[in-house]
Amino acid sequence: MKKADYIWMDGELRRWEDCTVHVMSHALHYGSSVFEGIRAYDTPDGPAIFRLEDHIKRLYRSARMYRIEIPYDFETVCAACIEAVRENKLTSGYIRPLAFRGAGSVGVTARDTPIHLMIAAFPWGTYLGEDALKNGVDVAVSSWNRLAPNTIPPGMKAGGNYLSSMLIGYEAKDRGVAEGIGLGRDGLLSEGSGENLFLIEDGVIRTPPGAASILKGITRDTVIKLLADMGHDVQEQPLPREALYTADEIFFTGTAAEVTPVKKVDGLDVGNGDYPVTRSVQDAFFGLFSGQTKDTRGWLRHVQE
Ligand code: PMP
């Protein structure tokens, strides 16, 4: 189970096995946690964390929604992520900051519970399977809808949101496919259980908009910007389910999934099995870490002093 030597917890690095919580922790009972998933990549200039500041900004935004006052300032949290990567001697990996309500009163709206912050960093490979990045994944539209707007905000990255992701993800696995695609309450396309969705048809690149019950992914934003650099415009617009079955190319984006082509939806092949745009997006994305794509926006934060 142990994935690394240390976890940064409540202001200091502690040994992995010492980072435990009380069973009366509020977050365990009510899902009162917010978190991030960040990747560190092995670059020619040493390990670098991708879009660290943007992830931590989103962490604070999610925390604000649920009145979770993170007891550390922005720079301290960023520095702690760097420390967690460096002290675990990772060349690449996954970083998981998590802020949550600990043990105190049991009331749902209790505010006298202590807020904890932990940052784990550990090695992590591809998310959707070994050959997913190369050959693509099979997916199915889920029978579960994504969270409706004005229920639990899908645009926040809170622990409780992932009950929806679990239902979509388990159902997909039980059906023998890698991932499920959730529709919004209006039947329009939303996202995967942990990925944003892009569709390409007749050269037009489209992705569901922020209002479509999605988490506005940082990889989604990265890809939109990389595509703009390549001269492609991405249309953020409501998309009907049938767009999945007529698309020439479909791909997922996410910190974990990176840029993963979709090869089959509900048993139907996507396009003719060629992914020229997806491939060029993948090349540009991974090029950021190999040095092939210039990091013009300061997205890489190197961990070496
Ligand atoms: N949607 C959901 C529901 C997610 O959990 C994630 C992963 N954080 C994403 C989209 C992709 O977001 P990002 O690119 O910021 O990782």
- What integer pLDDT is reported at residue 172 of this predicted model? 98
- What integer pLDDT is reported at residue 265 of this predicted model? 98
In the chain, where the domains are located: 6-122, 132-290
Closest CA to 34 of 8, 68, 80, 2: 68
Pocket of ligand 1 (CB under 6 A): 37, 165, 191, 194-196, 215, 217-220, 253-255
- What integer pLDDT is reported at residue 192 of this predicted model? 98
Q: Rounded to the nearest whole angstrom, what is the distance from the C-alpha of residue 94 to the centroid of ligand 1?
A: 14
Q: Which atom of ligand 1 is nearest to the CA of 55?
A: 15
Could you confirm whether 157 is annotated as catalytic? yes
Q: Which atom of ligand 1 is nearest to the CA of 222?
A: 14
90-145 pLDDT per residue, tens: 999 999 999 999 999 999 998 889 999 999 999 998 888 769 999 999 999 999 99
**Run of H or E residues at 82:** helix 74-87
pLDDT at 212 over 90: yes
pLDDT at 245 over 70: yes
- What integer pLDDT is reported at residue 63 of this predicted model? 98
254-280 pLDDT per residue, tens: 999 999 999 999 999 999 999 999 999
Q: Rounded to the nearest whole angstrom, what is the distance from the C-alpha of residue 257 to the centroid of ligand 1?
A: 9
Q: Rounded to the nearest whole angstrom, what is the distance from the C-alpha of residue 255 to the centroid of ligand 1?
A: 7
pLDDT at 69 over 90: yes
Other C-beta atoms lying within 10 Å of the C-beta of residue 101: 25
- What integer pLDDT is reported at residue 305 of this predicted model? 75
Q: Which atom of ligand 1 is nearest to the CA of 256?
A: 16
Q: Rounded to the nearest whole angstrom, what is the distance from the C-alpha of residue 299 to the centroid of ligand 1?
A: 17
Evaluate whether 140 touches 264 at the Cβ level (below 8 Å): no
Going by the DSSP 8-state scheme, the letter that residue 135 receives in this structure is H
Residue nearest to atom 3 of ligand 1 (CA): 194
Q: Which of 2, 57, 134, 157 is catalytic?
A: 157
Q: Rounded to the nearest whole angstrom, what is the distance from the C-alpha of residue 78 to the centroid of ligand 1?
A: 19
Q: Under CATH, what is the fold of the domain 132-290?
A: D-amino Acid Aminotransferase; Chain A, domain 2 (3.20.10)
Residue nearest to atom 6 of ligand 1 (CA): 194
- What integer pLDDT is reported at residue 129 of this predicted model? 72
Amino acid at 209: P
Q: Which atom of ligand 1 is nearest to the CA of 220?
A: 14
- What integer pLDDT is reported at residue 66 of this predicted model? 96
Tokens of 124: 């992590």
Percent pLDDT > 90 in the chain is 95
128-142, 158-172, 216-230, 265-279, range with the lowest pLDDT: 128-142
- What integer pLDDT is reported at residue 130 of this predicted model? 67
Interatomic CA distance for residues 74 and 57, integer angstroms:
8
- What integer pLDDT is reported at residue 262 of this predicted model? 98
**In CATH, which of 3.20.20.70, 3.30.470.10, 3.40.190.10, 3.65.10.10 is domain 6-122?**
3.30.470.10
- What integer pLDDT is reported at residue 142 of this predicted model? 98
The mean pLDDT value for 159-164 works out to: 96
| DSSP-derived pairing of the beta strands 234-236 and 204-207 | parallel
- What integer pLDDT is reported at residue 53 of this predicted model? 98
Mean pLDDT of the chain: 96
Interatomic CA distance for residues 298 and 278, integer angstroms:
23
- What integer pLDDT is reported at residue 123 of this predicted model? 97
34-50 pLDDT per residue, tens: 999 999 999 999 999 99
Going by the DSSP 8-state scheme, the letter that residue 18 receives in this structure is G
Percent pLDDT > 70 in the chain is 100
Interatomic CA distance for residues 302 and 202, integer angstroms:
39
